[in-house]
């Protein structure tokens, strides 16, 4: 492998220049690439008339508003984003339920490098009447809980390293790593399906941690789709 390609591989797990930190700096999401603009979507909607515009005018903004507000979403599929996401495994699991995205993820079958585990900045209490909900509570001892979680993370990583040292293969040893393990994946999605994701995940019903990522996505794409952001009231 050349020095240049080795360097590229090493940097796959660090945030790209345009990123937003989340989870108290332990996680991040970066915008790696994008294709198409709001003008592309408007042109796609009008393709049947054979007219293409270079820049949006007031009527185009109205058309975009009509498209977004009336679920005429296929023109939005011509705008595509690729993100790099660094998050705990339990957030990765929720994210990957969104089948309309394309994903590629770091594999613990191939690497034992850069193992990091998440420790929540604040632990929340379980809601009594809603299994999906949690809330911040004064009765929880934050320092003790953070200490216990850190200790358990360390124990699990220690056992993983011990198994590797004993010659156990990575693909089996990884089974002892916790749900708090940080992972990195690339995720590509079009604007139609991204709006659906943001509606579900920047929501009071979603887990607080994934909602942070959803809000970070809004920050990253706002300069690229400013009219959509206004229509969606971000
Ligand atoms: C608050 C919350 C709680 C959740 N709790 C749970 C839970 O307890 N257990 C659990 O298993 N999941 C849970 N989920 C995941 C949820 O069921 C969905 O899998 C996830 O939100 C992805 O939504 P989606 O299918 O609409 O998105 P995508 O997979 O991105 O699909 C987008 C749209 O494409 C269409 N589509 C995609 N695939 C198909 C298909 N095979 N057939 C028909 N139409 C399709 C649908 O219209 C769908 O809405 C939860 C999600 C949220 C937001």
Choice from 77, 90, 100 to test ligand 1 binding pocket (greatest atom count within 8 A of CB): 100
CA 25, CA 126: separation in Å to the nearest integer?
24
Identify which of 97, 187, 196 to mutate to test ligand 1's pocket (most ligand atoms within 8 A of the CB).
Answer: 97
Å from CA of 101 to ligand 1 middle? 12
Architecture per CATH, 3-36+79-116+182-231: 2-Layer Sandwich (3.30)
> Quick one: pLDDT at residue 112?
63
CA of 94 to the centre of ligand 1 (A): 10
Please state, as a whole number, how many other Cβ atoms lie within 10 Å of the Cβ of residue 55: 7
Nearest CA to ligand 1 atom 9: 94
> What is the pLDDT, as a whole number, of residue 156?
96
- Determine whether the shortest distance from the Cβ of 97 to ligand 1 is under 6 A: yes
Distance CA 105, CA 20 (A): 19
> Is the minimum distance from the CB of 133 to ligand 1 under 6 angstroms?
no
| CB of 73 shorter than 6 A to ligand 1 | no
Q: Rounded to whole angstroms, how far apart are CA atoms 196 and 78?
A: 15
Index of the ligand 1 atom closest to the CA of residue 200: 53
pLDDT in tens, 175-231: 999 999 999 999 999 999 999 999 999 999 999 999 999 999 999 999 999 999 999
Catalytic option among 92, 201, 215, 230: 201
Domain residue ranges in the chain: 3-36+79-116+182-231
Tell me if 200 CB under 6 Å of ligand 1: yes
**CA dist., res. 170 & res. 172, Å (int):** 5
- CA-nearest of 87, 97, 112, 106 to 193 is 97
Q: Sign (positive/negative) of CA torsion 11, 13, 14, 18?
A: positive
- Token pair 């050349």 is found at 2
Say how many Å lie between the CA of residue 203 and the centre of ligand 1. Answer: 14
Instruction: Please name the residue whose Cα sits nearest to atom 27 of ligand 1.
Output: 98
Looking at residue 11, its pLDDT comes to 54
pLDDT score at 111: 67
Pocket of ligand 1 contains residue 206 by CB under 6 Å: yes
**CA contacts within 13 A on the Cβ side of 146:** 8
Catalytic residue list contains 170:
no
Distances (CA, A) of 198 to 69, 101, 143, 174: 15, 13, 32, 31
Look at ligand 1, atom 53, and give the residue with the nearest C-alpha.
Answer: 200
Cβ neighbours, 10 Å, residue 15: 17
Its pTM stands at 0.92
Residue numbers of the chain with a pLDDT score lower than 70: 1-12, 109-113
């Amino acid at each position: 492998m050349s020095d240049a390609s080795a360097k590229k591989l090493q940097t796959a797990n660090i945030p790209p220049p345009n990123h937003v930190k989340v989870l108290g700096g332990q996680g991040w999401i970066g915008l790696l690439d994008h294709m198409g603009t709001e003008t592309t979507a408007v042109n796609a909607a009008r393709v049947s008339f054979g007219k293409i515009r270079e820049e949006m005018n007031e009527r185009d903004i109205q058309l975009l508003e009509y498209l977004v507000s009336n679920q005429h979403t296929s023109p939005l599929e011509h705008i595509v984003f690729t993100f790099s996401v660094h998050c705990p495994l339990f957030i990765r699991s929720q994210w990957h339920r969104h089948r309309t995205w394309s994903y590629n993820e770091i594999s613990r079958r191939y690497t034992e490098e850069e193992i990091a585990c998440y420790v929540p900045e604040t632990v929340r209490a379980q809601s009594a009447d809603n299994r999906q909900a949690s809330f911040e509570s004064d009765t929880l001892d934050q320092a003790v809980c953070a200490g216990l979680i850190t200790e358990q993370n360390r124990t699990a990583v220690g056992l993983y390293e011990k198994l590797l040292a004993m010659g156990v293969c990575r693909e089996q040893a990884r089974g002892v790593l916790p749900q708090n393990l940080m992972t990195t994946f690339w995720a590509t999605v079009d604007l139609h399906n991204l709006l659906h994701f943001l509606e579900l995940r920047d929501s009071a019903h979603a887990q607080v941690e994934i909602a942070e990522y959803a809000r970070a996505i809004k920050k990253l794409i706002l300069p690229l789709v400013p009219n959509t952001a206004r229509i969606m009231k971000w």
